Structure 1
C-alpha cells in the first residue's frame, strides 16, 4: 500500500496523542514481539512503538526488520518512538483522505 503525502500528514496528526503500545527491549525483535505487534496493528491500525536501542544503526535495523516482518508502513520516527500504520482489511477503522 502506498500512501500520499497528505495521507501521511493525516496519520501523523492522528498519532500525535498516542502512547506506545509495544516496547522493543533488550531481546530485540523476537517472534513474540511480532505476534504482539500483529495483534496491536489489527486492533488499532495506527500504533506507536518504543524501540530501546542505544546505537542509531541498531535501532534503524530493528525498525527495518519490524516493518518488513509486519507488513506495516513507517509513518515517522522521532527518537526512540516509531509510528506504524497497517490497514485492517476485515474492519478498517481509519478513513484516509484522498
Structure 2
C-alpha cells in the first residue's frame, strides 16, 4: 500500500521541461543572453554561451514562448505542448533588428 501511495505521489508531482537553442538566423551562431519567457507566467530562462536554455518544473499544458534579445527581433511560438517527464525541444532563430532608433538621445562628438 505504501509503495502505491508513493507511486501516485511521484506520478502527480511529475513536471515537464522545455529546452533548446537560440541562434542568429544569418550566421547560425549561438546567442548568449537571450531571454526565453513563457507568456502569462513569471517563468523563463536566459541563454548561456552556447545559446542553450532550459525551463524546468512545468505543469502539463500548452504554452506560448517568447524570446527577446537586445538588438534582435522578438520571436513568439504558440502551441508548445508540455507533458510530464518529457523534455520538449524548442529552438529559435532571431533576426537582427533593423529599426534600432532611440528617440530623444543626442550624441555629440
User: TM-score by structure 2 length?
Assistant: 0.26
Structure number having the greater strand percentage: 2
Structure number having the greater helix percentage: 1
Based on CA coordinates, which of the two structures has the bigger radius of gyration? 2
User: TM-score by structure 1 length?
Assistant: 0.28
